Amino acid sequence: MLIALIISIAITLIILYFTIDAQTIAYFKSGKIRYDYFLAAICVNIVYFFIWGLRLQILSNATDKTIHIGFIESTKIVFANLFLADITPSMAGGEPVRIYLLKKDGLSYGSATAAVLGERLLDAIFLLLCVPFGFYVFSRHLNNAMIQIGLSFAVFIFILVFVVFIISLRYPEKIKHLLFRIATKLQRFSRKKTSKYKLMNRISDEIDSFHQSMMFFIKEGKKTFFLAGIVTALFWITGWIIPILLLLGLGLPPSIIASCAAQILLIVIVMMPTTPGSSGVSEGVLAALYGVFVPASLLGVFILLFRLITYYMGLIIGAIFQYRIFNHVASFSMDMIEQEK
């Protein structure tokens, strides 16, 4: 967390140092700033989280018909996952939190994993479909070799992960064998030992549950998966509205097409496992992309506002919800132990 915050704040301050000038001060004094748009951006960001909760609910309930995850509960899980997601590369820390809390709500680990990885699969499909649009809009402006390399590498990783995911569905037995070997090696560093027979059975059961859930999406649950796909598109588009509102709040043209294209390319790059929470990388890419159509004197202010709403806001909300939920889980576990005694 400290590394993520230090990098993010440092890069933001550097950008502000090189962009804020006399024109920036004069612009703020001119009365062109619309603070109501900033408030609207905050509200849209909250809606964005609730749409995420709706998608998680749809996928979770589809993986196991015997368990019902409520909308409020799934949204709480989304809020709780924000903290670890925001301080880990590729937002990877959020997945274990969502899986763990779905398991606490009654799903098997296999079903919970299928629901969460189903989210990633839908994100990958939607973003890969959008990437050509982002490249097309910024094709004339992507002269920076580092950004070109970063984008190309990010798209390659996206496709690679997608292929690996498909292979895991096609050959579940090989995945079982691979995970068993990994788990056996990890047990050497664990104080709690499990017999190889129990370990293999546990892995086999969870992989079977995961495989059945994912095959349900592909075969029987196509309508559910399609519905979740529509929600996924709405989820990302809602997030793209936030920078448009910030531009309007700064008294600038909304640049809807350019801003959406910039968000697509930004997401692809920040999904790469670089720094904790992609801090520093996000600010740098924002400066490179939005610097094409945002005046230099307001670029740093725009980046600061965008990160405050989309990153720091989620970090604070996530910390609060994660503490409250896991504190409740810990208290419940202690009560169960006392009852057993």
Q: What is the DSSP string of 180-248?
A: HHHHHHHGGG-SS---HHHHHHHHHHHHHHHHHHHHHHHTTTHHHHHHHHHHHHHHHHHHHHHHHHHHH
The conformational region for residue 295 under phi > 0 = left, psi -120 to 50 = alpha, else beta, is beta
**What is the rounded CA–CA span in Å between residue 302 and residue 15?**
11
In this structure, the dihedral spanned by the alpha carbons of residues 231, 232, 236 and 239, taken in order and rounded to 10 degrees, is: 50
Report, as an integer, the average pLDDT of 34-48: 95
**What is the rounded CA–CA span in Å between residue 33 and residue 30?**
8
What is the SS3 string spanning 27-45? Answer: HHHCCCCCHHHHHHHHHHH
Cβ atoms of 243 and 253 within 8 Å: the answer is no
* Segment among 55-64, 150-159, 304-313, 319-328 with least mean pLDDT: 150-159
The conformational region for residue 314 under phi > 0 = left, psi -120 to 50 = alpha, else beta, is alpha
Report, as an integer, the average pLDDT of 293-312: 93
pLDDT at position 201 = 72
Residue type for position 308: L
262-to-77, 237, 331 alpha-carbon distances in Å = 29, 12, 45
Report, as an integer, the average pLDDT of 258-277: 84
* Helix (H/G/I), strand (E/B), else coil: 305: helix
- Considering only CA atoms, give the Rg of the chain: 22
In this structure, the dihedral spanned by the alpha carbons of residues 279, 284, 9 and 35, taken in order and rounded to 10 degrees, is: -110
336-to-109, 326, 339 alpha-carbon distances in Å = 21, 15, 5
* Helix (H/G/I), strand (E/B), else coil: 61: helix
Task: Give whichever of 50-54, 212-216, 275-279 has the largest mean pLDDT.
Answer: 50-54
Residue type for position 231: V
Residue 128 has pLDDT above 80, yes or no: yes
Residue type for position 166: I
* Segment among 81-85, 88-92, 108-112, 161-165 with least mean pLDDT: 161-165
* 167 vs 116, more confident: 116
pLDDT at position 50 = 97
Share of the chain above pLDDT 90, in %: 32
Report, as an integer, the average pLDDT of 89-118: 85
Residue 230 has pLDDT above 60, yes or no: yes
151-189 pLDDT, tens digit per residue, is 677 677 767 777 777 777 777 777 777 777 777 776 666
Cα angle for residues 137, 143, 149 (degrees, 5° grid):
95
pLDDT at position 147 = 63
Report, as an integer, the average pLDDT of 268-293: 82
pLDDT at position 44 = 97
Task: Locate the domains of the chain by residue range.
Answer: 2-13+33-340
